[in-house]
Amino acid sequence: VGTSYREDSAAAGREAAAGAIARLSTASPAVAIVYATADHDQAALLAGIRSEMPGVPLVGCSGEGVIAHDESTEAFSAVAVMVVASDRIRFRTLLVEGYGESPAGAGERLAALVNPHIADAACLCLMPDGLQGNCTEFLSALHAKLAKPLPVVGGLAADAMSFERTYQYVDDKIVSGG
Going through the chain in order, the beta strands assigned E by DSSP cover 2-4, 31-37, 58-63, 66-68, 71-73, 79-84, 124-126, 152-154, 168-170, 173-175
Contacts of 163 (CB under 8 A, 6+ apart): 131
pLDDT digit string (tens) for the chain, length 178 residues: 999 999 999 999 999 999 999 999 888 999 999 999 999 999 999 999 999 999 999 999 998 888 888 888 776 789 999 999 998 999 999 999 999 999 999 999 999 999 999 999 999 999 999 999 999 999 999 999 999 999 999 999 999 888 899 999 999 999 999 9
Apex 105 CA angle, 133 and 142, nearest 5: 90
Q: In the chain, what are the helix, strand and coil shares in percent, each to the nearest 5?
A: 30, 25, 45
Dihedrals φ, ψ of 39, to 5°?
A: -75, -15
Q: What is the pLDDT of residues 34-55, one digit of tens each?
A: 999 999 999 999 999 999 999 9
Q: Give the torsion sign (CA, 62, 68, 70, 71).
A: negative
Q: Using an 8 Å Cβ cutoff, are 17 and 4 in contact?
A: no
pLDDT tens digit string along 4-38?
A: 999 999 999 999 999 999 999 888 999 999 999 99
For residue 157, the 8-state DSSP code is: B
Cα three-residue angle 38-57-151, rounded to 5 degrees: 85
